[in-house]
Amino acid sequence: MKKEEILEYLKSDKANSLFKKADKIRKLYCGDKVFIRGIIEFSNHCYRSCLYCGLRRENKNLRYRMTVGEVRISQTDN
């Protein structure tokens, strides 16, 4: 679809129906709770080159790797 077609669809009644169905499925599987997740990034070295990712191999910013001890300490820090 072209950008104009997508915008037109999102403004239509069809989109509203789609959003309602999606919300019903979300409620079925997740309810109305909010889930917060976090990860410990023990390294920002990566061999892949995903264009959307800040950790991609071509990104030459400061790189780091945590030791096993540092990862364990970060698990207990709050």
What are φ and ψ of residue 45, in 5° steps?
-90, 135
Residue 17 is predicted with a pLDDT of 84
- What is the three-class DSSP state of 27? helix
Whole-number Å distance between alpha carbons of 59 and 53: 9
Residue 39 is predicted with a pLDDT of 75
16 secondary structure, DSSP code: H
Is the whole model's pTM more than 0.85, yes or no? no
32 secondary structure, DSSP code: T
Ordered mean pLDDT values, 10 residues apiece, the chain (78 residues): 86 86 92 82 88 86 86 74
